[in-house]
Amino acid sequence: MKTAVSSCGSIVAASPGAPVQAICPKCGGVVILRVRRLMANSGNSYYWRHVDDDHPCERQKPFMHFHGN
């Protein structure tokens, strides 16, 4: 996710200057700042990710959806 809530209660975007840890605006769970190196232009992509996968907030994973018959 691109935005989270800081410990002060303000909305913070995922960026190099963002805090290392914040709160998910959907479920209130703890999220950490992650960075991924982009291959195309050698830049970085920042995003928030939940600390654990045991939370009520579902991340969007369109390629992981299983549509059984």
Q: pTM for the complete prediction?
A: 0.72
Q: pLDDT tens digits, residue range 21-68?
A: 999 998 888 999 999 888 877 788 999 998 876 666 765 544 444 455
Which residues on adjacent β-strands are paired with residue 22? 31
d(CA 32, CA 51): 6
In this prediction, residue 20 carries a pLDDT of: 95
In residues, how long is the chain?
69
Q: Is the pLDDT confidence value at 1 over 80?
A: yes
Are 13 and 31 in contact by the 8 Å Cβ rule? The answer is no
Q: List the helix and strand counts (H, then E) for the chain.
A: 0, 5
